[in-house]
């Protein structure tokens, strides 16, 4: 499969659950990103990894924990989330510096 | 800090009419601006970037530093242009920040 793939596409979890979102890119890029898309808000940059090192952590609460084990995979570990964390979480990849991001289809998260 | 503003949430035009989607930005450094588009049931993708100075699908955008704007224009809208359009700014740390988006509907 080519491009950027995100799993699961939909996730419903309680506030005490622990779950993870997964992103995989097959484009040979060296940077990966997590964005949060909520209704009526701009896409919010959460984390940026370049060459598997975190280069940006945009004041995200610690209940979101990213992991980038290699340049093709990116995870977002979720723990004790709040209902306001319900949103579409988008993963993207790029060649760092390029500005051209390739997005996945997103993981729709609902926190009950 | 940087900020991207798209004042119109919704914009409707008739097929064949000109279309302009507005984008204003604030950034203390030298910005790099982009337009991204999301068609129905497709993922978000790059449409064009200001440094390329190219026309993509008939769309152009000029960076106006005096007005801090990067409006997207097309002289004759087509039905297939109906989509969600996002303006984005790349800062000095190479991170991309998006506006809230404008939903364009082209009426047949």
Q: What is the pLDDT of residue B50?
A: 87
Beta-strand pair A18-25/A4-7: antiparallel
Candidates B36, B44, B49, partner chain A, best to mutate (most A CBs within 10 A)? B44
**What is the three-class DSSP state of B99?**
coil
Q: What is the pLDDT of residue A8?
A: 97
Candidates A31, A40, A43, partner chain B, best to mutate (most B CBs within 10 A)? A43
Low-confidence ranges of chain A (pLDDT < 50): none
Decide if B43 and A103 are in contact by the 8 Å CB cutoff: yes
Task: Tell whether A75 is within 8 A of chain B (Cβ).
Answer: no
Decide if B98 and A43 are in contact by the 8 Å CB cutoff: yes
Give residue B2's pLDDT band: very low, low, confident or very high (50, 70, 90).
confident
End-to-end CA distance of chain A: 33
**What is the three-class DSSP state of B51?**
helix
**What is the three-class DSSP state of B39?**
coil
CB atoms within 10 A of CB B15: 14
CB atoms within 10 A of CB B60: 15
Decide if A101 and B99 are in contact by the 8 Å CB cutoff: no
Q: What is the pLDDT of residue A17?
A: 87
Q: What is the pLDDT of residue A56?
A: 74
Are the beta carbons of A41 and B100 closer than 8 angstroms? yes
Decide if B46 and A100 are in contact by the 8 Å CB cutoff: yes
Q: What is the pLDDT of residue B104?
A: 98
Angle at CA of residue A98, ends B68 and A109, nearest 5°:
90
> Is a pLDDT exceeding 60 seen at residue B57?
yes
Q: What is the pLDDT of residue A75?
A: 97
In the numeric block, the tokens 């097959």 are attached to: A26
> Is a pLDDT exceeding 80 seen at residue B42?
yes
Q: What is the pLDDT of residue A1?
A: 56
Task: Tell whether A40 is within 8 A of chain B (Cβ).
Answer: yes
Are the beta carbons of B43 and A104 closer than 8 angstroms? yes
B42, closest residue in chain A (CA to CA): A105
Bond from prior residue into A8 cis (ω within 30 degrees of 0) = yes
Closest Cα in chain A, distance from residue B102 (Å): 11
Task: Tell whether B46 is within 8 A of chain A (Cβ).
Answer: yes
Give residue B83's pLDDT band: very low, low, confident or very high (50, 70, 90).
very high
> Is a pLDDT exceeding 90 seen at residue B74?
yes
Candidates B94, B100, B103, partner chain A, best to mutate (most A CBs within 10 A)? B94
Half-sphere exposure of B65 (CA within 13 A, CB side): 6
> Is a pLDDT exceeding 90 seen at residue B29?
no
Cα separation, A82 vs A90, whole angstroms: 18
CB pairs under 8 A between A and B: 45
Most confident of A93-102, B15-24, B85-94: B15-24
Q: What is the pLDDT of residue A12?
A: 94
């Amino acid at each position: 499969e080519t491009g950027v793939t995100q799993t699961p596409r939909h996730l419903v979890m309680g506030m005490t659950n622990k779950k993870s979102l997964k992103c995989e890119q097959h484009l040979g890029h060296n940077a990966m990103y997590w964005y949060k898309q909520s209704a009526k808000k701009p896409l919010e940059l959460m984390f940026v990894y370049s060459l598997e090192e975190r280069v940006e952590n945009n004041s995200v609460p610690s209940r979101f924990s990213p992991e980038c084990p290699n340049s093709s995979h990116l995870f977002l570990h979720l723990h004790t989330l709040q209902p306001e964390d319900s949103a579409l979480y988008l993963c993207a990849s790029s060649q760092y510096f390029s500005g051209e991001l390739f997005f996945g289809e997103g993981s729709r998260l609902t926190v009950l | 800090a940087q900020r991207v503003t798209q004042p119109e949430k919704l914009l409707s035009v008739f097929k064949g009419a000109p279309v302009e989607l507005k984008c204003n930005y604030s950034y203390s450094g030298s910005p790099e601006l982009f337009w991204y588009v999301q068609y129905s049931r497709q993922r978000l993708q790059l449409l064009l970037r200001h440094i390329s100075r190219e026309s993509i699908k008939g769309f152009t955008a000029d960076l106006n530093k005096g007005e801090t704007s990067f409006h997207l224009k097309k002289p004759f809208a087509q039905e297939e242009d109906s989509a969600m359009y996002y303006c984005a700014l790349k800062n000095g740390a190479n991170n991309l920040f998006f506006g809230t988006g404008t939903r364009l509907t082209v009426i047949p």
